[in-house]
Amino acid sequence: MTRALIKLWNFLAAVRNGIFFRLRNLEGRVAIKGRLRLNVPLLCEGAGHVTLGPDVSIGYDLAAMLGDGAVRINARGRDALIVVGEGTSFSNNVQVYAEDSVSIGARCLIGDAVLICDSDFHDLSPDGRRHGVAAKAPVVLEDNVFVGSRAIILKGVTIGKDSVIGAGSVVVRPIPAGVIAAGNPAKVIRPL
């Protein structure tokens, strides 16, 4: 009896998440290239375009939930582009914001509450903060990158293939392929 209730609960949650995703994506700015697994709501907002590769997984049942655990993918500007590669998995509460472009490769693992953004969103000068132009630069995560929980990846960063970013790290500079990096600011600790 308990197993049947759990299965029913999981089925209803999946239906809710799928309906919520469709309602938030009425304008057709999101291209889904294959099966999309939704375990938490996916909010795709903004005027830009999002492409999700085959077998992308959104949310993880056993990870921490803040509110509904929703994953937010926001391509803000009209020319903004967010591309997620095949087989990439997002945990809960992940936020990806693009004013320019964010590219996440195939088979990446993105931990819970990770923040990825390609812009400062405000001019940093005191006089320009409210009306100035923010600095922006593309973010690239190459294939098979593992980003630990609550890491922050900022504008202009490229993380090389197979690298690991430690939990809670703030990545402000490029990270080479095949290394473990951690800290604030993130630094290479050792090769894999």
**Bridging pattern class, strands 179-183 and 42-45:** unpaired
CB 111 within 8 A of CB 91: yes
Residue 113 φ then ψ, to 5°: 60, 25
Instruction: Give how far the C-alpha of residue 20 lies from the chain's centroid of Cα atoms, to the nearest Å.
Output: 18
Amino acid 119 reads S
pLDDT at 66 over 80: no
pLDDT of residue 23: 43
Domain count along the chain: 1
pLDDT of residue 87: 97
CATH of the domain at 136: 2.160.10.10
Q: Which range has the worst mean pLDDT, 28-32, 127-131, 161-165?
A: 127-131
User: 36 lies in which domain range?
Assistant: 2-191
- What does the alpha-carbon distance between residue 128 and residue 45 come to, in Å, rounded to a whole number? 26
* From 29, 122, 150, 161, active-site residue: 122
Q: What is the pTM of this model?
A: 0.84
Burial 115-146 (b: 16+ CB within 10 A, else e): bbbbbbeeeeeeeeeeeeeeebebbbbbbbbb
Segment 161-183 mean pLDDT: 98
CB 131 within 8 A of CB 147: no
pLDDT confidence band for 5 (50 / 70 / 90):
low
Residue 122 known to be catalytic = yes
Residue 5 φ then ψ, to 5°: -65, -40
pLDDT of residue 77: 85
